[in-house]
Structure 1
Amino acid sequence: MDDTDRKLISALRHDARASLSDLALTLGVSRTTVRGRIERLKQSGEIVGFSVVLRGDAARDPVRGLMMIGIEGRGADRIIRQLNGLSAVRAVHTTNGRWDLIVEIGTDTLEALDETLTRIRKYDGIASSETSLLLNTRKSGG
């Protein structure tokens, strides 16, 4: 299984009913490639079936984390604008206590999460951060 297969599986986890055209566009490959990879993954046993996932059971991203951020000075508004510009950032919360911001991050892979965290840590005005991976959601709003 290569990176394209992993991205295909991730896309199918988000929407198993996505059209071949939509999947091809997302992955940057042809429809024929997507069809062939799905068939190969089914034949090899990597994909054993497709099912209905209820809203409460769905997780938008396979890798999710919470990044707590401490800000030095008065750069919070600028940092929030920068964070909101990142595609992996799902929500930005201001808070009291030890941390100034809590950022919800969602990505397809641990590598992508790491890249996002590295990028955020380089922002001017970020004094400290701590990140926790979300392993399981027991109750979700919505």
Structure 2
Amino acid sequence: MDEIDQRLVSILRHDGRSSISNLAVELGLSRATVRARLERLEADGTIIGYTVVLRADAVFMPVRGLTMVEVEGRVVDRVIDALVGFPEIGAIHTTNGRWDLVIEFSAQSLTDLDTVLRRVRLVPGITASETTLLLATPRSTRARL
């Protein structure tokens, strides 16, 4: 991504519904150029979609947290495949250090969280986990609002 692509993505992060015409004016480019850049960024997988971004603590499931997971041997891909089916899991990250995976989750209540964590611990290949609850999100770089 060059500087113009970075500016384009930054504008879209603030307003993913901005029209091609508005983007062109803001970038000082023609509509055709902006459209071509967007198409290229979408085709190469840099932009994978457009969505509504909610404040993290305003989501429908108010209990949020991170679970660090240790996986035995070389079955990380199998564990990830199993975890993808959990609707409470918003993101799965591979990492280095003590933990193999970091899972972002949300649940409706602490009781629901307990149920989810029990199911996660039963996934074959998971040997240990540690969970931290998120209390508030005073700043999030995801939305960049």
Deviations 1:72-110 (A, max 9, x none): 111110110111100100000001111000000101111
Identity, in percent, stands at: 47
Q: Quote the Cα distance in structure 1 between the aligned partners of 2:122 and 2:75.
A: 13
The answer to whether structure 1 residue 121 and structure 2 residue 121 are counterparts is yes
Residue matched to 1:109:
109
Residue matched to 2:70:
70
TM-score normalized by structure 1?
A: 0.59
Displacement of 1:58 after TM fit?
A: 5.0
Q: Quote the Cα distance in structure 1 between the aligned partners of 2:115 and 2:91.
A: 18
Q: Which runs of 4+ in 1 moved over 3 A?
A: 54-58
Residue matched to 1:84:
84
Q: Quote the Cα distance in structure 1 between the aligned partners of 2:63 and 2:76.
A: 26
Residue matched to 2:137:
137
RMSD between aligned residues: 1.7
TM-score normalized by structure 2?
A: 0.58
Q: Quote the Cα distance in structure 1 between the aligned partners of 2:131 and 2:123.
A: 16
Matched residue of 2:58: which SS?
coil
Matched residue of 1:118: which SS?
helix
Q: Quote the Cα distance in structure 2 between the aligned partners of 1:84 and 1:132.
A: 20
Q: Quote the Cα distance in structure 1 between the aligned partners of 2:118 and 2:68.
A: 14
Displacement of 1:56 after TM fit?
A: 4.0
Matched residue of 2:78: which SS?
helix
Q: Given that residues 57 and 137 in structure 2 are in contact (C-alpha distance below 8 angstroms), is that contact kept between their aligned partners in structure 1?
A: no
Matched residue of 1:111: which SS?
helix
- For structure 1, which runs of at least 5 residues remain unmatched after alignment? 1-53
Amino acid paired to 1:101: L
Displacement of 1:55 after TM fit?
A: 4.3
Amino acid paired to 1:99: W
Larger Rg: 2
Matched residue of 1:93: which SS?
strand
Matched residue of 2:80: which SS?
helix
